[in-house]
Structure 1
């Protein structure tokens, strides 16, 4: 049975900005930070286990992003609701923005939403997010502080029944400079690091970079960490300890190459 999607107005749900005065050029972005399913949408017909699973958010990504922000003195911006309500790393015309199926899970509350409901979600979640991120970037540029955009994600160790050996994925949009610098510095982490794995721009996962970094010519990369490696606060902190020096070294190398 499909869960009813109510048409009550909701939001706007504003992005959360932490360490706004951070002095690092890095601007950390976490689009899938939350699994919150607020009214009027409720649980979209999903079980509690499903709403805690990767389909609803990127487990560990926010904790890791916060750890990196602290270690780098970087500003962090993150989305406040589940990607099942609206995936802030997807454009409004993309099916994955409000998916009817994620991995092996049907999303009953997204099965037959109207154009009016799609617009309502876009106005409540995506537009405040996109405008908030753009405003943050534009303000930094106006101050002569061109930011380096780094988005933080996590991925499942098993996908459609197949184990994933990669532990640290580094993805780029049009400009590979920063991603390649991160990959070059990654051996110190001891992780199985790969470029454009387990996803790439060809999978339409770089919407944030394509919209907010590429048009301004900003250095950018998307980091994907296998979520079994950041499964609790201690693991998130340990991973932040591993990755912060890599980002610092990559920034230095990318700046020298520019």
Structure 2
């Protein structure tokens, strides 16, 4: 297991740090998947991890990209995805956060992230974090210029067992200071009698997981929500499709409820 650092993190032949699906989507919904891929830049090697670790939840949000794609298709919404593993840079963390370059993730030690120099951190930030979040800004700017009502939805998954403890919830609807859309979606979930849907589960803003919401949603006053789906429920394409359609319904019902609430105010 080699640990390699090079002066260039991502070679041009490896493509962009992010991808955009359905760039001409007509809805104002902007979907973001910060942990879509477990891919490693060649210059990084495997960070000293074996294949089992690189395929596990520590490297990516298993199934989240598939659900996000279904949401994009169903809602006619643009989707911005990260193309490299969160172990290289966790794009749902600001550069100053210690876990932006995790030296340990759950029970796994990440040798290739130990003792990174300031130059290493700056290189990863410049080649992964900034291009990804700049792309989100540009997508939102385009929607605003088109006069659309913009909504930000980030898509994640969580492991059913964490540090030996079982998690029985199925879908977490997370928010930071702006709870408008989360409240409306939770109300819609209750009306649909969906079991296992919880607020700020299995994490909350106190755990530092709402960076993207704060940077692009709260800063602009845009309704925003973060979704966490238990990854054993979305392990295959069929399950991802089912959950994507189910969540799309919650988003649409939530947005309708939000508009009705604003009209009454």
Match of 1:29 among 21, 29, 32: 32
Count residues with an aligned counterpart: 257
Counterpart check, 1:4 vs 2:6 = no
- Quote the residue 1:148 is aligned against: 151
Question: How far has the Cα of 1:141 moved from its partner?
Answer: 1.2
Q: Distance in 2 between matches of 1:6 and 1:244?
A: 41
Match of 2:217 among 191, 213, 219: 213
Counterpart check, 1:52 vs 2:51 = no
Q: Distance in 1 between matches of 2:193 and 2:181?
A: 17
Q: Distance in 1 between matches of 2:36 and 2:193?
A: 23
Write out aligned runs for 1:99-110 (5 A): 99-110=102-113
- Quote the residue 1:123 is aligned against: 126
Question: How far has the Cα of 1:251 moved from its partner?
Answer: 0.7
For structure 1, the 5+ residue unaligned runs are none
Distance 1:180 1:10, change over 3 A: same
Match of 2:257 among 236, 253, 256: 253
Distance 1:189 1:74, change over 3 A: farther
Q: Distance in 2 between matches of 1:40 and 1:189?
A: 48
Question: How far has the Cα of 1:241 moved from its partner?
Answer: 2.1
Q: Distance in 2 between matches of 1:143 and 1:24?
A: 11
Counterpart check, 1:14 vs 2:17 = yes
Question: How far has the Cα of 1:8 moved from its partner?
Answer: 2.6
For structure 2, the 5+ residue unaligned runs are none
Question: How far has the Cα of 1:99 moved from its partner?
Answer: 0.3
SS state at 2:156 partner: strand
Match of 1:73 among 71, 76, 79: 76
Question: How far has the Cα of 1:191 moved from its partner?
Answer: 3.1
Question: How far has the Cα of 1:130 moved from its partner?
Answer: 1.1
The farther-off stretch of 181-190 and 199-208 is 181-190
Match of 2:207 among 177, 188, 203: 203
> Contact conserved, 1:14 with 1:132, CA < 8 A, in 2?
no
TM (norm. structure 1) is 0.96
Q: CA RMSD in A?
A: 1.4
Q: Distance in 1 between matches of 2:165 and 2:193?
A: 24
| Cα deviation code 1:187-206 (max 9, x no counterpart) | 42633011011101111100
